[in-house]
Chain A
Amino acid sequence: MSKTILEVKQLSKHFRRQRSVFSVFNRRSDTIPAVDKVSFYLRENETMGLVGESGCGKTTVGRTILRLTRPTSGNIIFDGRDITHLSDQELRPLRKDMQIIFQDLDAALNPKMRVQDILNEAISVYGRVSDAEAEVKLRMLLDQVNLKNSKLSSYPSELSGGEKRRVGIARVLAVGAKMIVADEPTSALDVSIQAQVVNLLRDLQKQLGLSYLFISHDLQVVELMSHKVAVMYLGRIVEMGLTERIAGSARHPYTFILWSALVEKQNHEAIQSVKMDRRAAWGVFDFERPASGCRFAPRCPVYERRGRPAECTDPANEPQLRDVGEGHQVACHFPLGS
């Protein structure tokens, strides 16, 4: 039974809203709950996928876990140690083991530093390393991520998207991470390069026993890479479980919509069977008007179909994650297939 490397309990991150001119017209709460009472755990050598559309809070979860922003409430327990309230000083040595690969390729690398500078810096963050040792480590890193030696003296602006991603991965490996938050690692990359990055991440996991929190909106890649998946909507996890179960037998209506929106699936019949309201899945969600009760209700086809049951909009009865067998959890009053 492998060890639990990360445990997140009821994690919340609220951003204080900036007042706008129009706030006079609506009565609103003062904070935006980007992440709301999220709980999950991650084991060694395991990949957990975190999916959802833009704005659902998955990136914020990733950043909060690494204490890049201060959590509003809840606990983060990394490698047995509660890091929620540690000071920056105390946190720094622990950062060695928990790292992040950023989504924005250009922004995550200092454009004025050459690749070798970036990697050398990472190598020597946690201890003095002699020049010879650093040289060896550098070669090894390049080898691990499949980067040519000739790229060492280049600036990030001279690298292609895939190469920049690989430098980001190399940097994370250089400090010796055990757990990596991969924030949209395949976005903005060409399909063939995505495949390279995905393969690389999988191979590294096998070689080094890494754990990944794989944040992505690309469901197919998530399916391929993850052992288990959590689906987020408006800051809450609405469904969580083993990948096969989430992808194959989704119980939450939102999960179902997400997966069937995969353009490849020409499965019109499946969509018809749930009688999706055409209008159900467009539009940006409006944090400004959180529905009381279940947050998905305004867009939920099941809610419509069942004649708008009162439980779904009862503010005192927000759906909680309930176990429906084998670690599969759903937060819904009327999960599919029930």
Chain B
Amino acid sequence: MQNVKTYSQTNIEVGQFSQLPLRQKYAIADLLYVAYGLLIVALVLVSYILGMFDLLPHDPQQIHMDMLLAPPASNGYLLGTDFMGRDILSRLIMGIQAYFLPGLLAISIALTGGVVLGILAGYCDRKTETMITYFTNLVDSFPRLVLILLVIAAFKPDIYYIMVVMGITGVPAVATAIANKIRYLAHKNFIEAAVALGLRTRVIIFKHILWYNCRALLIIQATLGMGEAILLETSLSYLGFGVQEPMPSWGNMVQSGANYFLQGNFWPSTAPALAILFTILGFNLLGDGLNNILEDRRGR
């Protein structure tokens, strides 16, 4: 059970932390997470734009009766075709349309609402804080999925309505995080110092609190929120409540491919499932890596 550690120093002169190169400053794992996450985000963005302008390799709705269930890399269908002969790759790209904008809507609502409530709760007097806490606890205690199903039942299964609900139910998390952060910062004098200096309250809130100190928090909430939105949308589509056939969504692709799974045709179901997996993983890792990089690692 030998546990030998080696410590070595290469430079005689050691500079300050902030001037070190990137690789020395942060853990390699975090850098990899962020790199991967950014790659995924880039892919999603590019795919969204491609989908928006219809620059797809094939028409996602086009049925090719002669090429049913073709395996990947056959005849120009990079990822093969599904049970109706439709190109899977194009359908995957098109599927991003289903969650991209709605997801952005959800996180915008969550972040905006959360920031406003969080600042009010953290900055104002006890009474306001208590009221906001009650309110956020109330919203938090609603079971999200049930609420969504209610909305679907009451209105139509419109992904935008669903995302609004998700946004609203996401407000408490952000608000609490920000309010806690502010309460923590209130102990530290520099908010007081900013007041003493004569800075306007607006400046203090936006610059000192939000930009400098809550930046990381908000980015993480955004990335995690996006991941959740994707999961929500794909789950609902899988269950049949979201995007309906023949419009592609990763969720309903998994669903429709399920019938053919047991026959030995894994691919039509697996491809979208893997897409879901790697995309959500990308967002989560991005959030995680950014958190580590932005939050703690300043200075010694």
Contacts and interface: CB of A to CB of B under 8 A. Distances in A.
A and B held together in a complex: yes
B299 A158 contact: yes
A175 B208 CA distance: 18
Contact of A92 (B19, B188, B192, B198): B198
B135 interface: no
Interface string A144-162: 0000000001111110000
Interface of B: 16-19, 187-190, 192-201, 208, 212-213, 298-300
Contacts of A309: none
Nearest 8 Cβ contacts at the A-B interface = A157-B299, A107-B188, A95-B198, A107-B189, A112-B212, A108-B189, A110-B190, A108-B193
Interface of A: 66, 68, 88, 92-93, 95-96, 99-100, 102, 104, 106-114, 121-122, 125-126, 153-158, 171, 175
Given A102-B189, A155-B299, A171-B197, A113 B212 contact: yes
12 contacts: A66-B196, A88-B201, A93-B198, A104-B188, A104-B189, A108-B193, A109-B193, A111-B299, A154-B16, A154-B18, A158-B299, A171-B193
- Majority secondary structure, B binding face: helix
A107 B190 contact: yes
B190 A108 contact: yes
Contacts of A158: 16-18, 299-300
A112 B196 contact: no
A99 B190 contact: no
Nearest to A181: B196
Contacts of B188: 104, 106-108
Nearest to B215: A112
Given A155-B299, A158-B18, A99 B196 contact: yes
A158 B300 CA distance: 7
Given A112-B213, A113-B212, 15 more contacts: A66-B196, A88-B201, A100-B193, A102-B192, A106-B188, A108-B189, A108-B192, A108-B193, A109-B193, A114-B18, A121-B199, A122-B197, A125-B198, A158-B299, A175-B197
B18 A155 contact: yes
B291 to A, nearest CB: 15
B189 A175 contact: no
Contact of A126 (B190, B193, B198): B198
Nearest to A113: B212
Nearest to A69: B192
B300 to A, nearest CB: 6
A260 to B, nearest CB: 33
